[in-house]
Amino acid sequence: MARKYFGTDGIRGRVGTHPITAEFMLKLGWATGRVLGNGGGTRVIIGKDTRISGYMFESALEAGLSAAGVDISLLGPMPTPAIAYLTRTLHACAGIVISASHNGYADNGIKFFSSEGTKLPDAVEAAIEAELEQEMVTVDSSRLGKAERVKDAEGRYIEFCKSTVPSNTNLRGMKLVVDCANGATYQVAPSVFRELGAEVIAIGVSPDGLNINRDCGSTTPALLQKAVLEHAADAGIALDGDGDRVIMVDHAGDLVDGDELLFIIALDRQAKGTLPGGVVGTLMSNLGLEHALKAHNIAFDRAKVGDRYVLEMMQQTGRMIGGESSGHIICLDRTSTGDGIVSALQVLHGMRSSGKSLHELKSGMRKYPQRMINVPVQEKIDLAAAPLIQAAVTSAEQRLASRGRVLLRSSGTEPVVRVMVEGEDEQQVNREADQLASVVAAAV
């Protein structure tokens, strides 16, 4: 069923532009309470990142949920995966995240977790959208929901993160630079790595409501690369604004992206005999990851782009490890959703147990040159129904033959068409990508 509000990662857009308004969030809180609260007497938890509009939307959602007769637990600024975890452990009927993830402060959005800490099924999202069309009716005053703040949320999540590596894991002697993107992990991430013994240089830990993801974090890792070299660190960890993605940097200042992190985690699990099945990536995963895993007899499946589709395929195939090039990595044997801190810990544990540097661990995978261009669009288009675009794709695929591949897709979170070309020859890859992007730009 087509969605009016929900995209691949919840509801997201520009603050002040429908539906990212206080009025809509009030109604959304009420509709969510009606659908998930079963008429009242249950609890929903709400967490947010550090962007300034979070205050406004937190209050609006709280009011809507209360009007539906649902109690609310407020977590304040907390990473998205922490909200998934706490939804489970606090036995809430749902968790709500106020965040636009890696986007700038002028955007915001809403993500939901079920009582199991997983993304909501499509049918539940459809039910919430249907309820949004109804007139908002407040329950009797005696049944209004109450709100409370969870005072120990940070400590609970820190202990959980530490529990995802063996209890004897010790990072003493390891120097790490941790970039928290001025986002939701600014308090918890440095504490996790310090409590495991690492020397931590924390950057991107001064949020002001406006600087989330600005020139820092996993989407802009140049600051981290520079800091790793300046401090002669063993590794750098870059999280995004809501903490569900991670990109790392080795001691030489080279980036280690999500594909390479997946490779490292998968080989570490295989060496320990704890890798059932194989690995799930996406249509955007580098061809080098597929080939490197195959060389180690590790099966690899590609899901549609989006962490919810990666998770669906993992559940269908029984895989425990999956993720995206962007650094959204899911370790189902550790937690229920993508978690940047937990994923980084798996890599650090692999470094420590193998005695190898991050640079050495990633060297087993050769990445193919890949170019992605985001072409802005005013509204979502049907790429398959655009003959000029399809003709250009066919021509590019013929020229690349078996030495590469082409992927065009409309983003589920931004108003862009992503043009990706990958192949053995970097010059040809760049040439084909530029040509395709110009065709798409002209067509839209």
Strand duo 94-98 + 107-114: pairing: antiparallel
CB 287 within 8 A of CB 302: no
CA distance 411 to 376: 10
CA distance 381 to 55: 34
CA distance 330 to 88: 17
Where would I find the beta strands (DSSP E) of 266-398? Answer: 278-282, 299-303, 321-323, 329-331, 370-376
Where would I find the beta strands (DSSP E) of 152-269? Answer: 175-179, 199-203, 235-239, 246-250, 255-256
- Take residue 435 and report the two structure tokens written for it: 């040509």
List the one residue out of 23, 21, 212, 4 whose CA is nearest residue 109.
21
Catalytic residues: 101
CA distance 181 to 204: 5
Strand duo 404-410 + 416-423: pairing: antiparallel
- Take residue 348 and report the two structure tokens written for it: 């650090």
Longest dimension (CA), the chain: 70
Token look-up 């590469």 returns 404
Sheet containing strand 416-423, strands side by side: 370-376, 416-423, 404-410
Count CA within 13 A, CB hemisphere, residue 395.
12
Where would I find the beta strands (DSSP E) of 134-174? Answer: 147-149
CA distances from 29 to 58, 144, 385, 436 (A): 10, 13, 37, 42
CA distance 30 to 63: 8
CA distance 89 to 218: 28
User: Which residues partner with 281 through β-bridges?
Assistant: 302
CA distance 239 to 180: 5
